[in-house]
């Protein structure tokens, strides 16, 4: 990962589990998606051919591929290793998928104001002031576990899965024990942050833990600090409903 300049935001759209925004690849304006659950970033075959990125089938294009490329979001730009490859499975209107290999920098995903921006390292201290850090533990499947309680029914851990379309998925067996109906709203506490009310989707699958995704943060501002295995939520730690604040 290379340098980053600027400080202007870019509009984002969240539909189901897909968060998209306008970005630039070597000055080419493209539709991008932020997909932290993906280990590897990728470009569409169309963009790969147009700007000669690695992964082209054409041998000439491969020889012309650069070692570094510039990814721009708003006025911000980061120079990254050009290791992303073309991926025919991207949504048809998306030309760039930003995965974990590009997420060394802190990213402000503000779903309250529908904007996204990359933060300079010098901005980190100010950006996290008054927020609560939620530690993440990476899993082999590209998801994370995090300290959480969901209506007190499933222990003290949840899974963070940015590919999940639900506000919160709860194992059906646990929901049955707690008599929680599908679609009901329950209190969810992530780490030491303030409790939030989320709508339950009962999950009859094999997963034994609750699962939260992008929809958990709809209408909220979250800082992704995945290079340090954590996210930051609005509100200081300890100022929860128990303290009366």
Per the model's pLDDT, the better-predicted residue between 82 and 102 turns out to be 102
DSSP string, 99-133: -GGG--S-EEEETTTTEEEEPPGGGHHHHHTTEEE
Cα gap 131→242, rounded to integer Å:
18
Return the residue matching tokens 């991008």. Answer: 32
Quick one: pLDDT band at residue 226, thresholds 50, 70, 90? Answer: very high
Rounded distance between C-alpha atoms, residue 152 and residue 244, angstroms: 19
Look up residue 226 and give its two tokens. Answer: 């995945």
CA-based max dimension of the chain: 65
Mean pLDDT rounded to a whole number for the chain = 81
Does this model's pTM top 0.85? My answer is: no
CB-based contact 201:161 (threshold 8 Å) = no
Instruction: Write out pLDDT tens, residues 3-24.
Output: 444 444 478 999 888 999 999 8
Per the rule left: phi > 0, alpha: psi between -120 and 50, beta: everything else, 32 is beta
> Looking at the predicted structure, is the pLDDT value of residue 170 above 60?
yes
Locate 67 and state its tokens: 């070692």
Tokens of 43: 């470009």
Contact yes or no for 47/16 (Cβ under 8 A): no
Q: How far is CA 11 from CA 14, 33, 109, in A?
A: 10, 12, 10
- The mean per-residue pLDDT over the stretch 193-220 comes to 86
What are the structure tokens assigned to 54, written together? Answer: 């690695």
pLDDT, average across residues 72-84? 72
Q: 48-64 as b/e, with b when 16 or more CB fall inside 10 Å? A: bbbbbbbbbeeeebeee
pLDDT: is 111 or 56 the higher one?
Answer: 111
Q: What percent of the chain stands above pLDDT 90?
A: 26
* Short-list 93, 131, 130, CA closest to 231: 131
Over pLDDT 70: what percentage of the chain?
81
102-152 pLDDT, tens digit per residue, is: 888 788 999 999 999 888 777 878 889 999 999 999 999 889 999 998 877
């Amino acid at each position: 990962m290379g340098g980053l300049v600027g400080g202007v935001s870019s509009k984002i759209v969240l539909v189901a589990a897909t968060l998209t925004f306008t970005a630039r690849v070597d000055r080419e304006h493209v539709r991008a998606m932020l997909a932290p659950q993906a280990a590897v970033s990728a470009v569409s075959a169309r963009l790969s051919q147009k700007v000669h990125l690695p992964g082209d089938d054409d041998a000439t294009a491969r020889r012309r591929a650069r070692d570094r490329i510039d990814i721009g979001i708003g006025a911000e730009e980061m120079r990254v290793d050009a290791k992303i490859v073309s991926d025919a499975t991207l949504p048809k209107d998306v030309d760039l998928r930003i995965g974990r290999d590009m997420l060394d920098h802190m990213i402000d995903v503000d779903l309250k104001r529908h904007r996204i921006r990359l933060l300079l390292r010098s901005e980190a201290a100010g950006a996290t002031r008054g927020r609560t850090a939620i530690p993440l533990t990476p899993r082999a499947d590209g998801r994370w576990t995090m300290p959480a309680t969901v209506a007190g029914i499933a222990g003290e851990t949840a899974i963070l899965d940015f590919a999940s379309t639900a506000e919160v998925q709860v194992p059906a067996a646990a929901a049955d024990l707690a008599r929680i109906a599908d679609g009901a709203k329950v209190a969810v506490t992530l780490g030491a942050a303030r409790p939030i009310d989320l709508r339950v989707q009962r999950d009859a699958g094999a997963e034994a833990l609750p699962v939260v995704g992008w929809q958990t943060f709809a209408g909220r501002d979250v800082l992704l600090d995945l290079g340090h295995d954590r996210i930051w939520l609005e509100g200081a730690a300890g100022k929860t409903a128990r303290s009366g604040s």
